[in-house]
């Protein structure tokens, strides 16, 4: 698979003056087609272990960058794994977000085209195939596919094999696309262990040095 994402604009961080908006998680529109279910499960377990008060305090400290359309709909441009895990735990959950970009267009196709120009849209499916048509993007978080390679990269980040790169949209998917071209034993998001030794070696190799987050 050849992942050819366009140049991207950094997603604006919230300022001290920006207004935080409480939104229903189920109402948010995703900007990617898939997630790594291993990370989703991890997020869900973390939320389940917290009290409601602690959970809400945490969510308010991690606001979701959102794009507001002319029709009043919110499109989330980050936090997909975190909020998918929360949604699975509590379908009526709310979270906090801030408007990173406001658009005048109302039609979803126009909104998505604007996001694609900014590099804020990921149109590859759970098998790494794309670009998929704009119409294939799920309308909500519950419709996101599983990408086992995204789960694998999340685990490598947890282990400290790969550095985080929060300013690069879809950083983990870029690593996943690279690992897809390597020889790895069969694995799944729920059974990562068979692929981890080889994935660690590949991620630490000099061949990965051009990828952001490489540590060697």
Task: Write the pLDDT tens digit of every residue in 66-115.
Answer: 999 999 999 999 999 999 999 999 999 999 999 999 999 999 999 999 99
Q: What is the mean pLDDT of the chain?
A: 94
Alpha-carbon distance 91 to 15, whole Å? 29
Predicted local distance difference test score (pLDDT) of residue 2: 52
* Phi then psi dihedrals of residue 149, to 5 deg: -70, -30
Predicted local distance difference test score (pLDDT) of residue 151: 98
Q: What is the mean pLDDT of residues 121-145?
A: 94
Predicted structure pTM score: 0.93
Question: Percent of the chain at pLDDT above 70?
Answer: 97
- Distances from the Cα of 115 to the Cαs of 14, 32, 76, 110, 216, in angstroms? 18, 11, 11, 9, 33
């Amino acid at each position: 698979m050849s992942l050819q994402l366009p140049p991207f604009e950094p997603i604006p961080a919230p300022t001290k003056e920006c207004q935080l908006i409480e939104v229903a998680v189920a109402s948010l529109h995703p900007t990617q087609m898939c997630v790594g279910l291993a990370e989703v499960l991890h997020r869900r377990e973390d939320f389940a272990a917290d009290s409601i008060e602690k959970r809400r305090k945490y969510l308010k400290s991690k606001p979701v960058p959102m794009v507001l359309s002319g029709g009043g709909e919110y499109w989330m441009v980050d936090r997909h794994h975190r909020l998918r895990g929360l949604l699975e735990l509590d379908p009526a959950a709310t979270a906090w977000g801030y408007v990173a970009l406001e658009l005048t267009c109302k039609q979803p196709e126009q909104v998505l085209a604007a996001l694609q120009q900014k590099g804020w849209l990921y149109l590859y499916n759970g098998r790494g195939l794309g670009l998929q048509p704009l119409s294939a993007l799920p309308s909500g978080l519950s419709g996101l596919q599983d990408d086992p390679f995204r789960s694998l990269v999340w685990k490598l980040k947890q282990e400290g094999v790969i550095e985080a790169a929060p300013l690069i949209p879809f950083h983990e998917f870029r690593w996943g696309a690279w690992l897809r071209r390597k020889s790895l034993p069969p694995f799944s998001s729920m059974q990562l262990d068979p692929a981890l030794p080889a994935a660690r070696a590949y991620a630490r190799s000099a061949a990965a040095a051009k990828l952001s987050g490489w540590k060697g």
